[in-house]
Structure 1
Amino acid sequence: ASDSGSPPLSNNVTVKVFILDQNDNVPVILYPVSANGSAEGVEEIPRNVNAGHLVTKVRAYDADIGYNGWLLFSLQEVSDHSLFSLDRYTGQIRTLRSFTETDEAQHKLVILVKDNGNVSLSATATVIVKVVEPKEAFAASDVTNAVKDEEENNVTFYLIITLGSVSVLFIISIIVLIVMQCSKSTDYSSKYLQDMNYDGTLCHSIQYRSGDKRYMLVGPRMSIGSTLAPGSNRNTLVIPDRQNHSVSVLLYGMLDRPALS
Structure 2
Amino acid sequence: MIKVIDVNDNKPDIEVTSLSNVVSEGSKPGTVISLISVTDKDSGVNGKVICSLSENVPFELKPSFQDNMYSLVIKRQLDRELVPDYDITIVATDLGQPALSTSKTFNVQISDVNDNSPEFSQNPLELYLVENNAPGASIFSVSASDKDVNDNAAITYNIIRSEGAQQETDMASFLNINADNGHIHALKSFDFEKVKTFQFQILAEDSGSPPLSSNVTVKVYILDQNDNTPVILSPVISANGSAEGVEEIPRNVNAGHLVTKVRAFDADVGYNGWLLFSLHEITDHTLFGLDRYTGQIRTLRPFTETDEAAHKLTIVVKDNGNVSLSASATMTITVVEPKEAFAASDVKSTVNSEDESNVTFYLIITLGSVSVLFIFSIIVLIAMQCSKSTDYSSKYLQDPNYDGTLCHSIQYRSGDKRYMLVGPRMSIGSTIVPGSNGNTLVVPDRRRTTGEVR
- TM-score with structure 1 length normalisation? 0.48
Q: Relative contact order, CA 8 A, sep 6+: which one is greater?
A: 1
Which structure has more strand as a fraction of its residues?
2
Which structure has more helix as a fraction of its residues?
1
- TM-score with structure 2 length normalisation? 0.29
